[in-house]
Amino acid sequence: MHAVQKPRDIYLTREKKKDIKVKKMLSVTLHISKGEKMLVACNRELGIVTQGKDWNALMKNIRDVIETYFDIPSADSVKINLEIDPTVNDNAETASC
């Protein structure tokens, strides 16, 4: 039997409008918790920490820190998994990157 990759684990890039390459998507898990005044996202294993005053600011800062950490032009090629602490319950669904 052939091992089948899950569609969410790959992405396609187009070079010269005809060549298509399949690459493995990077995956990062961040734990979201509530600090004293801000929402905090961290991955202790990678040493990634960022914060934001609300969900939209946090999501923007997550994109920025991922792009900087992996030295990539866009975080679109990274699957970001959020583990949200139960104490953080305000407006998570409405946030966007």
Tens of pLDDT, residue by residue over 2-13, are 443 333 444 444
Q: What is the pTM of this model?
A: 0.68
- Count how many domains the chain has: 1
Does residue 19 fall inside a structural domain?
A: no
> What CA–CA distance (Å, rounded) separates 35 from 52?
10
Q: Which amino acid is at 46?
A: L
Q: Which domain holds residue 38?
A: 26-88
> CB–CB of 81/68 below 8 Å?
no
31-68: pLDDT as tens digits: 999 999 999 999 999 999 999 999 999 999 999 999 99
CATH at residue 31: 3.30.160.250
Q: What is the pLDDT of residue 25?
A: 75
